[in-house]
Structure 1
Amino acid sequence: MIIESTWHKSSYSRAETNCLEAAYMTTGGAVVRDTQNRSLGYLEFSAMEWSAFLVEVKSCDL
């Protein structure tokens, strides 16, 4: 797995509370990690999973 860009912090994250970062992969998917616990690793999502997640978020169903 190759991460093709830098990590991006969620615009909904606050400095002192729940924070997430995401980065895109060269395969079209994405990885997500906890900003405050970066050393614990990340979750990897395929392009299809990431796309479905974004559709749901944009429709405000989550």
Structure 2
Amino acid sequence: MTEHQVWRKSSYSGANNNCVEVSNLPNATAVRDSKHPDAAVLVFPATKWTAFLQVLKEKNI
């Protein structure tokens, strides 16, 4: 990750901050726990992330 990485939370996140944040990378998406931003980050290839989001949309999640 870079020091200028831009992270964003879902618009569905509540006030309790129990959510994840995502950041776009070249050909991938990074995901981290918003409560522990300095902890480990998961990185998913763009194709896998897009497939994951498509399933969520199809299931109305």
Shorter-chain TM band: 0.7 to 0.9
The secondary structure found in structure 2 opposite 1:37 is coil
Aligned residues: 60
Identity of aligned residues (%): 37
Deviations for 1:6-35, whole angstroms, at most 9, x for unmatched residues? 1111112123142111011112x1011110
Structure 2 unaligned residues grouped into runs of 5+: none
More strand by share: 2
Structure possessing the higher relative contact order (Cα contacts under 8 Å, 6 or more residues apart): 1
TM-score normalised by L of structure 1: 0.77
Structure 1 unaligned residues grouped into runs of 5+: none
More helix by share: 1
CA-atom RMSD in angstroms: 2.2
The aligned runs of 1:46-57 (5 Å cut-off) are 46-57=45-56
Distance in 1 between residues matched to 2:11 and 2:60, nearest whole Å: 18
Q: Which consecutive segments of 4 or more residues in structure 1 shift more than 4 A?
A: none
Could you say which residue in structure 2 is the equivalent of 1:33? 32
Distance in 1 between residues matched to 2:43 and 2:15, nearest whole Å: 23
